Amino acid sequence: MELHVRYEGDDDPEKCSARRLAKFDDAELHRSTRSTPPGIVLNPFADRALSPADREGTGSRRDRLVALDCSWETAEREAFDLEGVHRSLPFLVAGNPVNYGTAFQLNTVEAFAGALCILGEREQAEEILDRFSWGHTFLELNEEPLGRYADCLDSTEVLAVQDDYLADEGEA
């Protein structure tokens, strides 16, 4: 799948996973919304969860993932005016050193990797995570949920699986 990033550039360049992906030609950075191509937009504020069903259909929009790379402090609903099908990622835990162990606080490469796994592109997810010393940690922390999400038929099933994890988190 093609990986595209609407790049805000407001976080630490040394820790920016999107910049590293671009450095290795794994993703393309776009400095404006207009220059960012349409696709499946990873948007934490979207009403529907990403599921394997989002890969079905025809057209390049289904073969392209788009993320917004910005600091969590500026990630607001208004920032996601990108063209495409907007989907949120279900419950996943960060494996990166900045947000390690924090649910829903993924950096850009983790968001891409999680989405790729859900969409049946596990090998590509592993390849992009190999660029980071901690990349394998993300997959290890999320092995079970990623497998379960990838086995779902649609967003409704993904949310049911997510509810299982959130219920377990609440009991812990």
Q: Which residues contact 50 (CB under 8 A, 6 or more apart)?
A: 40, 42, 87, 88, 89, 90, 115, 118, 119, 155, 158
Q: Is 17 labelled a binding residue?
A: yes
| Distance, first Cα to last Cα, the chain | 37
Return the half-sphere exposure (C-beta side, CA atoms, 13 A cut-off) of residue 104: 13
Residue type, 167: A
Instruction: Classify the phi-psi angles of 68: left when phi > 0, otherwise alpha if psi is within -120 to 50, otherwise beta.
Output: beta
68 annotated ligand binder: yes
- Identify whether the C-beta of residue 107 lies closer than 8 Å to the C-beta of residue 93: no
User: Annotated binding site, which residues?
Assistant: 17, 68, 89, 108
User: Annotated binding site for S-adenosyl-L-methionine, which residues?
Assistant: 17, 68, 89, 108
